[in-house]
């Protein structure tokens, strides 16, 4: 299994469940930072049509392409259902943001053979690992 830095470095598209339009929330600023460093972001939020100038989808099942990484910005109690959905559509990896932990979700992802990271921030891992998908 890859470590978190490898998972992030090798992901090209990050599907963000719980992405927000509110620039004051980490669920907006973190995906936006990842976009600025070259990752493609696909927002999942049932209440909006677009975030970051990108079409948003109401659920993971509505995203019309294979899922490289599912990044979760939902409360820990909601993580299990998001992981169930990610498993059912064959996500390659699941990443729960800082402060989000769910033992049952971890177990389910492990049983499905899906790489799983929890309680870690994408933006911090990107900065510490000096990662970027922008060339030049």
What pTM did the predictor assign?
0.94
The string of pLDDT tens digits covering residues 90-120 is 999 999 999 999 999 999 999 999 999 999 9
The string of pLDDT tens digits covering residues 77-93 is 999 999 999 999 999 99
User: Which residue, among 109, 42, 47, 105, has the nearest Cα to 71 in the 3D structure?
Assistant: 42
Distances (CA, A) of 18 to 8, 111, 129, 132: 19, 24, 24, 23
Q: Let me know if domain 4-128 sits in CATH 3.40.50.1970.
A: no
What are the boundaries of each domain within the chain? 4-128
Q: Which residues make Cβ contacts (< 8 Å) with residue 44, sequence separation at least 6?
A: 15, 16, 17, 18, 19, 56, 57, 58, 59, 60, 62, 63
């Amino acid at each position: 299994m890859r470590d978190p830095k490898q998972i992030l470095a090798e992901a090209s598209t990050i599907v963000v469940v719980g992405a927000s339009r509110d620039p004051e929330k980490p669920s907006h600023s973190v995906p936006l930072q990842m976009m600025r460093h070259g990752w493609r972001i696909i927002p999942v939020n049932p209440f909006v049509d677009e975030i970051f100038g990108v079409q948003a989808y109401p659920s993971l099942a509505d995203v019309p392409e294979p899922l490289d990484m599912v990044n979760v910005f939902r409360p820990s109690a909601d993580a299990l259902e998001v992981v169930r959905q990610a498993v059912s559509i064959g996500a390659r990896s699941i990443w729960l943001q800082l402060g989000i932990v769910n033992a049952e979700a971890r177990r389910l992802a492990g049983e499905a053979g899906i790489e799983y990271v929890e309680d870690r921030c994408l933006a911090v891992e990107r900065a510490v690992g000096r990662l970027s998908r922008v060339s030049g």
